[in-house]
C-alpha cells in the first residue's frame, strides 16, 4: 500500500508543477499562480479537495474562460472568478 500512496502523491504533485499557492482558502481550496510554461502569469482554482479539478479563474466563463493574469486578479476575490455554480453557497 505504501508504494501506491507514494505514486498517488507524486501524480498529484505533478498536476501543479510550475505553480505555487498564491492564496489559501482553507478546506483544501487554493488559488494557484502558474510561473512556468504557456500559462505563466495566470491564476487557477485548485478544487481537488471536492471535485479533483483545477480550473482557470476567469472574468468571462461563458466566453471561453481565458485565465486571469496576476494583474487582473489583484484586488479581486478568487471565489468571484469561478464559473457559475462554483461560488460560495
Per-residue pLDDT of the chain (89 residues; tens, 9 = 90+): 688 878 766 777 777 888 999 999 988 899 999 999 999 999 999 988 888 889 999 999 888 889 999 999 999 999 999 998 876 65
Q: Residue 12 has what pLDDT?
A: 72
All three cell numbers of 64, joined, read 471561453
Q: In a 10 Å sphere around its CB, with 0-12 CB exposed, 13-18 middle and 19+ buried, how is residue 72 labelled?
A: middle
Predicted model pTM: 0.83
All three cell numbers of 61, joined, read 466563463
Q: Residue 43 has what pLDDT?
A: 97
- Note every long-range contact of 26-34, with CB atoms under 8 Å and residues 24 or more positions apart, other chains counting: 31/57, 31/73, 31/78, 33/70, 34/67
CA 75 to chain centre: 17
Q: Residue 88 has what pLDDT?
A: 64
Amino acid at each position: 500500500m505504501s508504494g501506491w500512496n507514494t505514486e498517488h502523491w507524486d501524480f498529484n504533485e505533478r498536476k501543479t508543477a510550475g505553480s505555487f499557492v498564491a492564496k489559501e482558502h482553507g478546506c483544501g481550496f487554493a488559488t494557484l499562480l502558474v510561473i512556468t510554461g504557456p500559462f505563466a502569469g495566470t491564476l487557477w482554482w485548485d478544487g481537488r479537495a471536492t471535485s479533483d479539478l483545477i480550473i482557470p479563474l476567469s472574468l468571462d466563463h461563458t466566453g471561453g474562460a481565458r485565465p486571469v493574469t496576476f494583474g487582473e486578479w489583484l484586488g479581486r476575490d478568487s471565489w468571484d472568478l469561478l464559473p457559475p455554480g462554483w461560488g460560495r453557497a
